[in-house]
Structure 1
Amino acid sequence: MKRLAVCADDYGLGPAVDRGILALVGQGRITALSALVTALRWAQAGPALREVGADITGLHFNLTEGEPLSAELRRHWPRFPSLGAVIAQAFLGRLPGALAGEFEAQLQRFIDVTGRAPAFIDGRQHVHALPGVRPFVLEAAARLGVPLRNTGRLPGPGFAFKRRVIEACGGRALVAEMRARGLRAAPALVGVYGFDPQADYRALMRGWLGSAPDGALLFCHPAQGGPDAGDAIGAARVREMAYLASEAFAADLAEFGVTLSGV
């Protein structure tokens, strides 16, 4: 059997996202979830994670959705910029120095609400791998003894340009630095697509199950009961949920000889 961790991102973003993720945890269809603690509703949504296994809940470090937690960063960014702007500033060496403090604020908010440290760290839209962000994320992972999400190797199928961009935007450098520090990470990341609400998510999944090496991580974005208001990929989330909760997913795992495992 081939092992695969399945992580649902964006817990805390909205009620539909949270319902979907918790339902899939209950079904045993996902093995990890990544929490967005900057959302206004985090104080209400986060305590539910106290009932979830401590080893499956991670921090989804955010620089592109909503507002910063730290007052220092809010002086630079009253609201988080777009992903494109963050990437540009990262590669130009112009990211605010207050980002390290923002990371610690998000980490502390995770701990305050869940009552424990995260079991792993990743980034919304993979910002944890960017230049200027990597150093303090790597330091935190080493300090806490937890793995980081590997964005340096993204097997197919399809969406090759998007996969190569993610790898190039710090992913390969992140993997090299993790290896140098002896930090744990999955050998590859799968699940990249364009969030087209008409996409055949089952066909995509079958491709990922076939291409993922043993021990890989698959990331997903489910939501239950309809999209949350203002969610740009809400329709795609609902389609992901329908498949992940179905017997078709269980059948596909069995066909490809895949067993679900932790991060």
Structure 2
Amino acid sequence: MAKGFILCADDFAMTDGVSRAILDLLGRGKLTATGAMTNRPHWRRLAPELAAFAGRADLGLHLNLTCAAPLSPMPRLAPAGALPGLKEVARAAVASATARAEIAAEIVRQLDAFEEALGRPPDFVDGHQHVHVLPGVRRALLDILARRYPAGALYVRDPADSAAAIRARGVAVGKALVIAGLAAGFRRAALRRELHVNRGFSGVAPFDPQRDFGADLLRFLVAAGPLHLVMCHPGFADEELRELDPVVATRPVEHAALAAFAPPPDMPLRRFRDLLG
């Protein structure tokens, strides 16, 4: 039985507006985790503000291989200096040993950037657009984490759940099923390396600004797993976001709904370690 759930905001440091919205929600106690894009130029400036929430929320790395620029040159994957889209990363990670080597090196750089700014390892690692579970990426990531950190020191996000749970929630069902299929085997691979993994995942959304996101938050708790994680994407829209990411209009909607959200009494907001017991 679920003892509560983690509510995690993705994309910290993507833009100033996204980051300010997340910091606002952390300050209100409305989130229990957030993942940071440490390749973004906002990261070092905003990291001290995020560090203030250590111990109150899980602070993690939101591995980014598909948005803006890498931390160092990646001639095979990003020859012009900009990271490609998800489909190109997926193809290259399977087809090219050179691309896989570049991805592994970028994973290390992004982890280094997290630790250098916060002075501590991440509480968890996940991926922008779930890139961390892609074949050709997942092995490199999990091997690096297993070598770099003690067993059980952090957790990784498994963005899969059962088809029955996904259908019961009734939100972006097709999209959630595709992501679950993409993540097949990820949990087993992480556990083999003695990495913690969430059990239960929701938050896949259609990014429709006309939807009632507050109602969707309650739907995301249907058939919750024992280590359940709900992702979200709040933000304040600005010109930088409009130029960088297709998800713009729904971010302020999510922020407002999260600010007003009161979890059910039997499903409190928790950090991952609290759910582990």
Same fold by TM-score greater than 0.5: yes
Q: How does 1:66-105 map to 2 (within 5 A)?
A: 66-71=68-73, 73-74=74-75, 76-77=77-78, 78-92=81-95, 95-105=99-109
For 1:104-143, list aligned pairs within 5 A: 104-142=108-146, 143=148
Alpha-carbon distance in 2 for matches of 1:64, 1:29: 28
Q: Retained in 2: the 8 A contact 1:141–1:148?
A: no
Q: Partner of 2:220: helix, strand, or coil? A: helix
Say yes or no: does 1:173 pair with 2:176: no
Give the counterpart of 1:162 among 157, 175, 187. Answer: 175
Question: What one-letter code is carried by the residue in structure 1 that aligns with 2:161?
Answer: R
Q: Is the Cα contact below 8 Å between 2:77 and 2:89 reproduced in 1?
A: no
What's the CA shift for 1:92? 4.2
In structure 2, give the amino acid aligned to 1:66.
Answer: A
8 Å CA contact 2:93–2:100 kept in 1: the answer is: no
Which deviates further from its counterpart, 157-166 or 191-200?
Answer: 157-166
For structure 2, list consecutive stretches of 5 or more residues without a partner in the other structure.
273-277
CA deviation map 1:69-122 (0-9, x unaligned): 123x14541211111222233344564421111110111111111221111101
Deviates more, 1:32-41 or 1:138-147: 138-147
**CA distance in structure 2 between the aligned counterparts of 1:168 and 1:32, rounded to whole angstroms:** 25
Equivalent of residue 159 in structure 2, options 139, 151, 161: 151
Cα distance in 2 between the residues matched to 1:39 and 1:243:
26
Matched position secondary structure for 1:172: coil
Does residue 237 of structure 1 match 2:251? yes
Q: 1:24-43, aligned counterparts within 5 Å?
A: 24-43=25-44
Which residue matches 1:7? 8
Tell me the CA shift for residue 138 of structure 1.
Answer: 1.0
For residues 19-64 of structure 1, the C-alpha deviation after alignment (integer angstroms, 9 at most, x for no partner) is: 1111111111100110011112222122222212156110000010
Residue 258 of structure 1 and its aligned partner are, at CA, apart by: 0.8
Taking structure 2 as the reference length, the TM-score comes to 0.85
Size of the aligned set, in residue pairs, is: 255
Match of 2:197 in 1: 185
Question: Aligned with 1:121: secondary structure?
Answer: strand
CA contact (8 A) 2:8 2:33 kept: yes
Matching of residues 246-257 of structure 1 within 5 Å: 246=260, 249-250=261-262, 253-254=263-264, 257=266
Cα distance in 1, alignment partners of residues 160 and 255 from structure 2 = 27
- Residues in 2 aligned to 1:20 and 1:239: alpha-carbon distance in whole angstroms: 11
Give yes or no for the alignment of 1:196 onto 2:208.
Answer: yes
The answer on whether the counterparts of 1:227 and 1:238 sit within 8 Å (CA) in structure 2 is no
Separation in 1, partners of 2:14, 2:134: 22
Alignment RMSD (CA, Å): 1.9
Report the 3-state secondary structure (helix = DSSP H, G, I; strand = E; otherwise coil) of the residue aligned with 2:68.
Answer: coil
